[in-house]
Amino acid sequence: MPIIVNLDVMMAKRKMSLNELSETVDITLANLSKLKTGKVKAIRFSTLELVCEALDCQPGDILEYSKEES
């Protein structure tokens, strides 16, 4: 998938655990874990907004586009 999720990088920079982020944004640990590992196919803008607010970052800090080689 050409979209890379860098949630773990931003969490490390902010020294925030998955449990802390889950409590802060009121999203289940399971859903955040899937997002963190890139095993999701979509993310709601409202969820992205909450995560960005909690981590004090921009969407581009979490999501990255990488052109796949054919």
Identity of residue 2: P
pLDDT of residue 21: 96
- Is residue 18 within 8 Å of residue 33, measured between CB atoms? yes
Cα–Cα distance measured from residue 6 to residue 29, given in angstroms and rounded to the nearest whole number: 17
CATH match for 3-65 among 1.10.10.10, 2.60.15.10, 3.40.50.1820, 1.10.260.40: 1.10.260.40
pLDDT digits (tens, 9 = 90+) for 11-60: 999 999 999 999 999 999 999 999 999 899 899 999 999 999 999 999 99
Q: What is the pTM of this model?
A: 0.86
Which of these, 8, 14, 60, lies nearest to 32 by C-alpha position?
8
